[in-house]
């Protein structure tokens, strides 16, 4: 396609005039100079940065740092802040917002830009006092009773990424945004982007929250468990890593307030560092990400190794296995915490719902049935899980857990860590362990196993081609298991909006679900089954993974 050089240069120069950031302005100026002589590669590179804009969706914004409307930068963030403020004003919602940020590069800058712009538009604005976990921001939306919350974070994305996550108060009760609100906010942002951010009024008389707000989160979270059974010196030994994120100070305060011994930490990863120097990908699910934590666990003879992701809304757990540690899957942790939540609810005479995303293991539905509770599947994304009415516990297999919806309406890796410490303490007092408790779960509910296959693509059109191929040539069997039913969520399924998801229910209580990733250029396949023994279940999962891999390659 022929590139209109004058249009590209004009658009880039207009952007340059409004960019308040010295770094991105310098990079863009150099790119404009390089493209001005019509050099092919330079023109193409510049056109690629101005060939669209970041889409504001149900995950807000998330992208690599850099200049232009397709990257995260101060212009894009300012436009987003002004658009969100105008949405709140135009829809008659409460004109107040709380803003948080993590330790990533420019998170604090983006947060202050947002605070100044939203205050300039007349909103009551509260900025959190320092870099803090996402769950603290989610808590603050409800605790302060504001109209919206903004968290500047890219969670567990690669180091050069940043993002902008939005929560709503009022009837949304502190949950993340969902359609059609995301589209309405996107329209408001587009209206702002049609002009220049230099026309926006800024104000600095916003409120900076005091440490009392964090103290309130700590107290509310600590109260979600009972006091430890064992003395600190007798409790299971724990190693903790913040993975260069912002979780440690808040997690330590929560553990202490609840009466648990302070964990041994991974010193190389305990302080916030936006460069993430010891991990190539700061996601506890990624191979190698927990290597330092496991090495620390071996050195101190730990019973548990726990990891928060950089904004501490997710949790990973590893337990001793042979001469090393085994990281539990998100489903395994979800089973144990869901079982615990169900037992606790029934003991307290409560009714309610256990919920999980549809790509999470069906094991939770058996737990709910056993305890006379309701169960609900949701679309992927915690914004759906957190909105389930009468929710007692919710999780998604991607390491997200909500153990007390009365405190936070989002996944919370700190409260989940506390609940696991409490469980480990109770088991140790009874002469048991997490590993033995997993065996007890299999004996009680069945031996469930899960697996994943993921195909990363360079060309995004490949994702559509893979999904189209599966729809036009659906498999009749996988790994010698007959496909009993095929469900295409694009066709509309009761209780779900149309979604690009395919589900295959197989003979022998096996299940395969295929969907494009919502945050990465991947097609993801989720495999689940249940059998008589864990080994048999895992064998079925492995066979299905081998059968599915060629279909999504």
HEC readout, 257-283: HCCCCCCEECHHHCCCCCCCCCCCCCC
> Cβ(178)–Cβ(158) under 8 Å?
no
Please state, in angstroms and as integers, the Cα–Cα distance from residue 314 to each residue in 135, 227, 245, 352, following that order: 10, 24, 11, 24
Tally helices (H) and strands (E) across the chain: 17, 22
Pairing of strands 175-176, 96-101: unpaired
> Cβ(428)–Cβ(236) under 8 Å?
yes
d(CA 247, CA 543): 38
The SS3 of residue 117 is: helix
Q: DSSP secondary-structure letter at 490?
A: G
Length of the chain: 553
Beta-bridged to residue 400, according to DSSP, are 396
What is the number of other CB atoms lying within 10 angstroms of the CB of residue 17?
Answer: 10
264 is catalytic: no
Q: Tell me the CA end-to-end span of the chain in Å, nearest whole number.
A: 28
d(CA 255, CA 445): 31
Pairing of strands 353-357, 374-378: parallel
Catalytic residue among 114, 155, 415, 450: 155
**Residues 6+ positions from 293 with CB-CB distance below 8 Å:** 239, 240, 241, 266, 269, 305, 307, 318
- Name the residues annotated as catalytic: 155
């Amino acid at each position: 396609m022929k590139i209109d050089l004058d249009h590209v240069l004009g658009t880039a120069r207009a952007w340059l005039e409004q960019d308040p950031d010295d770094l991105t302005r310098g990079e863009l100026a150099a790119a404009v100079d390089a493209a001005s002589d019509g050099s092919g590669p330079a023109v193409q590179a510049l056109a690629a940065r101005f060939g669209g804009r970041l889409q504001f969706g149900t995950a807000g914004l998330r992208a690599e740092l850099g200049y232009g409307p397709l990257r995260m930068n101060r212009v894009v963030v300012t436009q987003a802040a002004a658009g969100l403020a105008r949405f709140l004003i135009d829809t008659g919602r409460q004109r107040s917002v709380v803003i948080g940020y993590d330790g990533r590069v420019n998170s604090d800058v983006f947060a202050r830009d947002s605070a100044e712009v939203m205050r300039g538009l007349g909103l009551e604005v509260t900025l959190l006092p320092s870099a803090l976990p996402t769950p603290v921001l989610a808590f603050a939306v409800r605790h302060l009773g504001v109209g919206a919350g903004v968290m500047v974070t890219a969670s567990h994305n690669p180091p050069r990424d940043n993002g902008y996550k939005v929560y709503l108060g009022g009837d949304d009760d502190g949950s993340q945004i969902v359609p059609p609100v995301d589209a309405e906010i996107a329209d408001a942002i587009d209206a702002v982007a049609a002009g220049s951010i230099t026309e926006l009024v800024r104000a600095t008389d916003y409120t900076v929250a005091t440490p009392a707000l964090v103290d309130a989160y700590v107290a509310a979270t600590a109260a979600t468990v009972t006091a430890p059974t064992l003395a600190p010196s007798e409790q299971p030994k724990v190693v903790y890593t913040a993975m260069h994120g912002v979780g440690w100070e808040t997690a330590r305060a929560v553990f202490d307030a609840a009466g648990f011994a302070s964990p041994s930490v991974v010193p190389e990863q305990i302080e916030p560092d936006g460069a993430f120097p010891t991990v190539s990908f700061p996601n506890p699910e990624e191979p190698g990400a927990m290597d330092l934590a496991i090495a620390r666990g071996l050195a101190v003879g730990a019973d548990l190794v726990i990891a928060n992701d950089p904004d501490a809304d997710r949790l990973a757990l590893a337990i001793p296995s042979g001469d090393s540690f085994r990281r539990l899957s998100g489903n395994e942790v979800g089973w144990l915490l869901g079982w615990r939540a169900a037992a606790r609810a029934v003991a307290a005479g409560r009714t309610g719902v256990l919920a999980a995303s549809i790509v999470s293991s069906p094991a939770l539905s058996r737990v709910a049935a056993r305890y006379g509770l309701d169960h609900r599947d949701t679309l992927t994304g915690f914004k759906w899980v957190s909105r389930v009415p009468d929710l007692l516990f919710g999780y998604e297999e991607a390491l997200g857990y909500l153990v007390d919806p009365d405190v936070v309406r989002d996944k919370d890796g700190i409260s989940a860590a506390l609940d696991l410490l409490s469980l480990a303490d109770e088991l140790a007092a009874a002469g048991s362990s997490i590993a033995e408790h997993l065996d007890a779960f299999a004996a009680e509910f069945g031996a469930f196993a899960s697996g994943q296959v993921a195909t990363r693509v360079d060309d995004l059109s490949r994702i559509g081609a893979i999904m189209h191929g599966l729809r036009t040539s659906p498999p009749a069997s996988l790994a010698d298991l007959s496909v009993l039913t095929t469900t295409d969520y694009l066709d509309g399924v009761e209780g779900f909006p149309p979604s690009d998801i395919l589900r295959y229910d197989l003979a022998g209580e096996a299940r395969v679900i295929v969907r494009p990733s919502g945050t990465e250029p991947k097609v993801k396949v989720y495999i689940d089954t249940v059998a008589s023994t864990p080994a048999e279940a895992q064998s079925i999962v492995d066979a299905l993974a081998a059968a599915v891999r060629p279909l999504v390659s």
